Structure 1
Amino acid sequence: MKKQLVSIVVPSYNQAQYLDEALKSVLDQVYQEWECLIVNDGSPDNTREIAEKWTEKDSRFIYLEKINSGLSGARNYGIECAKGVFILPLDADDIISSEYISLAVKSFEANNDIKVVYCKAEKFGDDSGIWELPEFSRLLLCQRNLIFCSAMFRKSDWQTVGGYDLKMIYGWEDWEFWIAVLKNGGEVKCLDEIGFYYRIKETSMLKQLDESKINYLYEYISIKHADFFVTQLGSFQKLLENVEKAKNENNQKLKSEKFVIDAFCSRFFGFSVFGIYKNKKQV
């Protein structure tokens, strides 16, 4: 049986110094039926020079160039051009193990109900060690992202949901994408092997998120996927009833609206608003 093509999409913006390592990890794959689309997202560095060196080395590397539009736009452009049945995004500063694609494809072939395959992960760079990720569930997916960007999915599912959302301009585009792909069903498989290595750097887009950007992202995801949150958490009226019940049961502890909000956020989003505020004041 002919093996199905996997398209690895590598956006690059000011990441040229790491690109060789990422592409070397692609070249080392045990699974040979792949193409790798390197998307230069209007980068001012020498991304083109490095990418073209790899296209000369192996014709499965394909160089694409576009006007800068951000990570979602660069991924979408690469996936649009991709010929593979399966898509694996790979950021230009990360790397994958040689077995990752082979094991992921086998998982898809063994179960047609699977929509997303990812794996255990490890950090490297400015920090190192196992990246502890909680076991996937849709309920937890309501609270935070559980799957890193380099998970494999079918191009057809990307087409169904309209790709990565360009309005996720500050980040968290992976979280929104996984919600879109998985909210109406489908299984998720986490491989029991370390197949993804995530580079930790002193500066990153996520580390630059401030309160206003975070609020924008939460509000946008909540409105766009309100059906998903209601399905997993219950109606908004039910949420209010739960808060009121908690207030009544803990009357001495929950005497103000502040404590009610804090209990709500701790229950459904996993953080304490006023604990964060207190810590900020102490810094």
Structure 2
Amino acid sequence: MSHPKISVILPVLNNEQFVDRCIDSVLHQTYEDFELMIMVGRCKDRSLKRCIAWQERDERIIIVSRKDSSLSDARNYALPVAKGKYLAYVDADDWYEPEYLATLVAPLEADDSIELSCCGCAIDHEDGRKAAPLLPKASGTVDVTSETYTQFVPNQAVWIKMFQTEWVRRYDMQMYDGFAEDVSLQVMIAAVAQRIYCVQAPLYHKTFENPDSVSVNFLKKSYLDTVLGLAYAVEFIRRHGREAVLSKPRLKSIIFSRIQTALTCSGYLPEVSEAARAFFQKYYPAEASQVRYEKKSLDAPVEIIAGAGQITRNLLHYMENSSRVRYVIDNHAHKGQTIGSKQVFPFAALEQEPKDVPILIGSTLYEYEIAQQLCAMGFENVYYVGDVLDEEAVQKVRML
């Protein structure tokens, strides 16, 4: 195909068990004007042979066999040679709903000022469990700033989005070559995006079935890349003269929280702590002391958990002294809400608590943001997930 409308970029590395399902879902889209660029790394299994078999059946498939096995490098390599006016992504162990391409391309074709469209995703586990879908917080066309983009599109993943190719190339939006590339890209997009389109439907299926998948390995060992990837994003922002957005409260809070999460969930590995200190000393020297770089010892059992999301549900299951937790607090608590047997109250409930009460932050996305809120209220006996669980348990809590 000489001028396909969409270029779908699919990195493949040791995905023999799953790649057929993925490719089949792309080829059976209701929207047919696309090329499928399969970027195959140095595989130890029969993934490449499986891809070749599909190529022999459909001329829309282009295979690039590469020595580099990096996910981001495969995506970056495809960017300058992609022929489509629009870019879409898919991971080899995931799959599309049949209307994925048609739904996301329609608003881009209708309005050139829309830089990207996005949808929700369903989470599928290998044991058949299906978590609640992750959906955009808006519907339709939305004008965004660096402060509002992440409010409307909290899911940082590239594979729930379709981009105007010219827009991505204009900013030379190369992805960070390492794990946590989506964390870095989220900050980059937030700094430059102005108009997006949101579809509140789970058209993408994210699976956690492959023990060798990049996503699972990220949760296990790649916290250092979170810090390095965010440094990469900050340099991107500086390069495009957008330094002012780095001081915006929400974007800064996201950066700080992601790095605090990397620190606590890694068990404060020395190399992660060193990289985090260097990051803040370079980019946020005045606030470097607000980040915790070392594990905090528990002086007393946790009594209150801040945050009423899935992490808190999982924490209550894994904490040895969960029976000592009296209640949960959340900014969006509603009357009668419970987490298991624990009542959920608004943050105002803390006004009745002594300032030394032990509080655990039940989040691995907004740790810093919640810590700042607690600190402003005068509470200093605050703990993170990595303070009360070992690293193995932290991984289980994050993936349940």
TM bin, normalised by shorter chain, reads 0.7 to 0.9
The CA deviation at 1:237 is 9.2
The CA deviation at 1:22 is 0.5
The CA deviation at 1:153 is 0.4
Q: Which moved more, 1:185-194 or 1:220-229?
A: 220-229
Question: Does the 8 Å contact 2:180/2:222 carry over to 1?
Answer: no
Question: Does the 8 Å contact 1:118/1:147 carry over to 2?
Answer: no
C-alpha separation between the residues in 2 aligned to 1:99 and 1:142? Answer: 25
CA RMSD of aligned residues (A): 3.8
Aligned match for 2:134, one of 132, 135, 155: 132
C-alpha separation between the residues in 1 aligned to 2:251 and 2:165? Answer: 31
Map of 1:1-283 to 2, 5 A cutoff? 5-126=5-126, 127-133=129-135, 135=137, 138-139=146-147, 146-150=155-159, 151-167=161-177, 169=178, 171-201=179-209, 203=211, 204-209=216-221, 211-222=223-234, 224-225=236-237, 227=243, 228-233=245-250, 253=355, 265-267=368-370, 274-280=383-389
The CA deviation at 1:125 is 3.2
Question: Does the 8 Å contact 1:121/1:130 carry over to 2?
Answer: no
Distance 1:65 1:92, change over 3 A: same
Distance 1:98 1:237, change over 3 A: same
Q: Secondary structure at the match of 1:191?
A: strand
Larger Rg: 2
2:217 partner letter:
M
Higher relative contact order (CA 8 A, sep 6+): 1
TM-score by length of 2: 0.57
User: What is residue 262 of structure 2 aligned with on the other side?
Assistant: none
Question: Does the 8 Å contact 1:38/1:78 carry over to 2?
Answer: no
Q: Which moved more, 1:9-18 or 1:158-167?
A: 158-167
The CA deviation at 1:264 is 8.6
Q: Secondary structure at the match of 1:32?
A: coil
Q: Secondary structure at the match of 1:35?
A: strand
The CA deviation at 1:41 is 1.5
C-alpha separation between the residues in 1 aligned to 2:69 and 2:24? Answer: 26
The CA deviation at 1:104 is 1.0
| Identity %, equivalent residues | 19
C-alpha separation between the residues in 1 aligned to 2:234 and 2:106? Answer: 34
TM-score by length of 1: 0.77
1:147 partner letter:
Q
Q: Which moved more, 1:273-282 or 1:24-33?
A: 273-282
Alpha-carbon deviations, 1:88-147, whole Å to 9, x = none?
Answer: 011111101111111111111233222121112111132413323462774376799623
The CA deviation at 1:192 is 2.6
* Structure 2: 5+ residue stretches without partners: 139-143, 253-283, 292-350, 357-365, 375-380, 394-400
C-alpha separation between the residues in 2 aligned to 1:213 and 1:270? Answer: 27
